[in-house]
């Protein structure tokens, strides 16, 4: 346990699994009180129990994010549970791959609703309160395929590209009030969500200098940096944590 985030509160969406779970555990390990959110209450409570077992503070606030109202409701309930929110991590996301011609309107709406609309209205609710206090950190989880064209990833990549632009827009909008908004761009990372990809994840990762998939802890470490005062002069940045994939 370190104390660099002690006294801070954090809301992490998609914290019942994978990268979000590691972010929740890491932020709690640095002293933050973490609101663990997701749809699955049982897995959410397991993450809360793991955090409490290591001496940290956490609470589960469930949410199925499917429109602006559910995002606004999560913001209100998380604020009520934690007192206020200093750190928002927009991590919940889905990443179906496939040809553009076979994408249905429902697929399109599902991806843009969770990956773009939910972060948008969470920020709409929470950033003004952070700005009033003159302090806050928002970290959006993007992806390397928001940075280059990849066959089969038009829908997913474009949704995260929107989130990257929102990161810069919100840095302009809220940065002058003391709210830093940044993004982390993971490369292929082993999670519950990518478990079914098997060798395809290794093949995707092989193109980068590191030549391997990332771990959830490697992604969480970058988020912890952007959540802390160690990154006090970093606004509107996209931090690739992708084994160097978008650099080459």
**Span interacting with ligand NAP, options 57-65, 80-88, 167-175, 232-240, rule CB under 6 A:** 57-65
Q: Does residue number 18 form part of the binding site for ligand NAP (CB under 6 A)?
A: yes
Please provide the distance, in angstroms rounded to a whole number, between the alpha carbons at the two ends of the chain.
36
Q: Does residue number 67 form part of the binding site for ligand NAP (CB under 6 A)?
A: no
Q: Phi-psi region for residue 58, left (φ > 0), alpha (ψ -120 to 50) or beta?
A: beta
Q: What is the chain's Cα-based Rg?
A: 17
Query: What number of other Cβ atoms are within 10 A of residue 148's Cβ?
Result: 10
Active-site residue flag, 156: yes
For 149-167, letters b (16+ CB in 10 Å) and e give eeeebbbbbbbbbbbbebb
Q: Does residue number 182 form part of the binding site for ligand NAP (CB under 6 A)?
A: no
**Residue choice 79, 143, 167, 231 for contact with ligand NAP (CB under 6 A):** 143
**Residue choice 65, 88, 179, 227 for contact with ligand NAP (CB under 6 A):** 65
Query: What number of other Cβ atoms are within 10 A of residue 46's Cβ?
Result: 15
Q: What angle do CA 198, 217, 162 make, to 5 degrees?
A: 75
Min dist CB 16 to ligand NAP, Å, is 4
String of contacts with ligand NAP for each residue 35-54, x by CB under 6 A:
---xxx--x-----------
Q: Does residue number 228 form part of the binding site for ligand NAP (CB under 6 A)?
A: no
Q: Report residue 214 as tokens.
A: 């990332």
Map the footprint of ligand NAP across residues 71-110, applying CB under 6 A: 91-95
Q: Does residue number 112 form part of the binding site for ligand NAP (CB under 6 A)?
A: no
- Provide the annotated active-site residues: 156
Chain positions contacting ligand NAP, by CB under 6 A: 13-14, 16-20, 38-40, 43, 63-66, 91-95, 114, 141, 143, 186, 188-189, 191-194
């Amino acid at each position: 346990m370190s104390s660099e985030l002690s006294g801070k509160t954090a809301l992490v969406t998609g914290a019942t699994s994978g990268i979000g779970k590691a972010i929740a555990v890491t932020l709690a390990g640095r002293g933050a009180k973490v609101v663990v959110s997701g749809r699955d209450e049982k897995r959410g409570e397991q993450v809360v129990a793991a955090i409490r077992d290591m001496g940290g503070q956490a609470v589960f606030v469930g949410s199925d994010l499917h429109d602006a109202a559910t995002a606004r409701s999560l913001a209100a309930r998380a604020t009520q549970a934690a007192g206020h929110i200093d750190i928002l991590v927009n991590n919940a996301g889905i990443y179906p791959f496939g040809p553009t011609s076979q994408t249905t309107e429902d697929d399109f709406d599902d991806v843009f609703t969770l990956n773009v609309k939910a972060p948008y209205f969470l920020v709409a609710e929470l950033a003004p309160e952070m700005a009033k206090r003159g302090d806050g950190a928002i970290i959006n989880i993007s992806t390397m395929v928001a940075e280059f064209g990849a066959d089969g990833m038009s829908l997913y990549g474009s949704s995260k590209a929107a989130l990257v632009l929102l990161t810069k827009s919100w840095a302009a909008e809220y940065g002058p009030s003391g709210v830093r908004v940044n993004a982390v761009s993971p490369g292929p990372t082993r999670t519950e969500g990518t478990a079914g990809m098997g060798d395809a994840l290794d093949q995707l990762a092989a193109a980068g200098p590191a030549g391997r998939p990332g771990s959830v802890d490697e992604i969480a470490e970058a988020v912890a940096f952007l959540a802390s005062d160690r990154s006090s002069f970093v606004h509107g940045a996209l931090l690739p944590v992708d084994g160097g994939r978008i650099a080459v």
